[in-house]
Amino acid sequence: MMAKKKIVIAEDHQLFREGLKALLTARDDLEVVAEAKDGLEAIHCIRKHSPHLLLLDLSMPRLNGISVINDVRSQYPDMKILVLTIHESDQYVLETFKAGANGYCIKDASREELFMAIDSVLGGKTFISPGIADEVMAGYLSGRQVLKEKSSWETITQREREVLKLLAEGYMNKEIGDLLNISAKTVEKHRANIMSKLNLHNAAALTAYAIEQGLVSPKA
């Protein structure tokens, strides 16, 4: 009997996570070995279980999906990463693949499309949901990714994005430093750089910008 493929699910919405697990475990060749509700927990699960496949949401508390991919890719070059997200813009798609993902699937995909994505990625192929693949290709053909003027968002480094996300979630400098294994002084330096690059001058403006970029969800 063929060994099951081990899967870690990283998704902060419990209902969606539970439904996804039920769907996957119905297949004899797949096994969900761990679930994570935020980005840091996802990294811990990966290090503990060394899965064949990570199913990863992009918008998660503490550490977003792009940061998770950047963190684990060099350590687990053979692990497959399939992103499951609501984001359909070519910016997110391109950043995800640049970080090292193997597939990009939209959350409103059908059951059949999801399994196609999983099988494609596990089989060593790249997968992009058909509905967004055309938009990404159009972006390349129009030259927008090469010729457009660099936006303020594109000047923000990956570490600065991690700091911005945690600031917008209400964490203090020391707490952010502990989460990212850097000093509070370094956090403050990143914060100053972010505010300078974006021309924003207070915490409320940073939070609003983080929401606009999809780093955090607006509070109800």
135, 40: one domain:
yes
**Same domain assignment for residues 62 and 103:** yes
Give tens-digit pLDDT for 122-156: 999 999 988 776 666 566 545 555 434 457 787 88
Last residue of a domain, one of 106, 121, 142: 142
Q: Given pLDDT bands bounded at 50, 70 and 90, which one contains residue 219? A: low
- 31 and 112: one domain? yes
**For the chain, what is the domain count?**
2
Please give the model's pTM, rounded to 2 decimal places.
0.74
Mean pLDDT taken over the chain: 87
As given in the structure block, the two tokens for residue 58 are 């992009």
Is residue 35 located within the same domain as residue 83?
yes
Query: Is the domain of 108 the same as that of 207?
Result: no
* pLDDT per residue as tens digits for the range 80-112: 999 999 888 777 888 888 899 999 999 988 999
Do 170 and 113 belong together in one domain?
Answer: no
Examine residue 191 and state whether it is found in any structural domain, yes or no. yes
pLDDT digits (tens, 9 = 90+) for 19-43: 999 999 999 999 999 999 999 999 9
Amino acid 98: pLDDT: 87
Q: Mark whether 62 and 171 lie in a shared domain.
A: no
Assess if residue 131 is contained within a domain.
yes
Averaged pLDDT for residues 46-67: 92
Q: Which of 90, 108, 142 is the last residue of a domain?
A: 142
Strand-pair partners of 36: 10
- What CATH code is carried by the domain that includes residue 123? 3.40.50.2300
| Helices 158-168 and 184-198, axial angle in degrees (round to 10) | 100
Residue recorded with tokens 């990966």: 46
Residues 175 and 207 placed together within one structural domain of the fold:
yes
Identify the pLDDT of residue 46.
96
Token code pair at residue 107: 């959350």
Q: In the prediction, which pLDDT does 91 show?
A: 77
> Which domain covers residue 166, as residue numbers?
153-212
Q: Determine how many CB atoms are found less than 10 A away from the CB of residue 58.
A: 24
C-alpha to C-alpha distances, 107 to 45, 88, 125, 131, 185, nearest whole angstrom = 22, 10, 20, 12, 39
Please check whether residue 219 lies inside any domain of the structure: no
